[in-house]
Amino acid sequence: IAVHCLGDEATLRRWLVYDPRQRVQGWRFASYMLLHSNALHLALNVVIQLVLATPLEVEQGRIGVATIYLGGGVCGALGASLLQPSLFLVGASAGVYALLTSHLAHLYLCHGELRYAGWRLGAVLLLASADVASLPIPALLGCGRVGWAAHVAGALAGPLLGLAVFPNQSKKDARGRRFVRFVRLLSAISVMLLVVGAILGNIYLIALPQLRKPS
């Protein structure tokens, strides 16, 4: 279940939007996902979430999918805070990207038991390619800047989080359970290091230098 709000109410925007000037308010790295700039933005994200998350929930469970969705959103905001440090963020696109690319982890873990695995992989690559190709469109139409850094960070987080949290894997796995456990552990450590690094980057590269500037 995903809860969304259209981002028209001033009070909601003030408290939930990711505002780079208020990056010390940690909840904004997740709460921005509840806001959307317009009805089309909201509808696209909800529809894509349903398409991507439903098969994952059936095959990997709700908790894992929810973790990837929220974790992808947080990672997206962290990525944007470093690579596009002046950009305000609304929307759940980073979480949606994480859901999309987490299918790669799902295909890896359950490769021997999934039906139509090749078609699934093709669909993931096709959706990712189409979305990347559409990134310049809002700027060309004069609709404002696109949070490409959030999209990229969410997409990178998806497979890593999927490998770390998805509970199910192929019982016919000839590669050995030890190797899969190693891959899972490596993915979990990578996510933690990237998140900690992004937090430290926000503190030491952006927040502290701003505080030291003369008023």
Neighbours of 45 (CB within 10 A): 19
CA dist 161 and 110 (Å) reads 15
Residue 134 lies in a domain: yes
CATH number at residue 185: 1.20.1540.10
Residue 164 lies in a domain: yes
Nearest to 154 by CA among 191, 193, 207: 191
Total number of domains constituting the chain: 1
pTM assigned to the model: 0.88
**What is the extent of the structural domain holding 65?**
5-207
Residue 171 lies in a domain: yes
Residue 54 lies in a domain: yes
Helix, strand, or coil here: 193? helix
Task: Give the pLDDT means over successive 10-residue stretches in the chain (215 positions).
Answer: 53 83 91 85 86 90 94 96 92 93 93 81 86 70 76 95 92 73 95 96 83 66
Q: CB-hemisphere CA count at 13 Å for 8?
A: 5
Helix, strand, or coil here: 174? coil
Cα–Cα distances in angstroms (integers) from residue 46 to residues 27, 50, 90, in the given order: 22, 6, 14
CA dist 16 and 145 (Å) reads 19
Could you say which DSSP state residue 176 is in? -
pLDDT at 128: 82
Q: Two tokens at 142?
A: 């004069």
Catalytically active residues are 93, 151
pLDDT at 51: 87
Residue 213 lies in a domain: no
Residue 214 lies in a domain: no
Structural contact between residues 72 and 2, judged by C-beta atoms closer than 8 angstroms: no
Structural contact between residues 152 and 95, judged by C-beta atoms closer than 8 angstroms: no
Which residues in 149-194 belong to E strands, given as ranges? none
Which residues in the chain belong to E strands, given as ranges? 5-6, 35-36
Nearest to 144 by CA among 98, 86, 94: 86
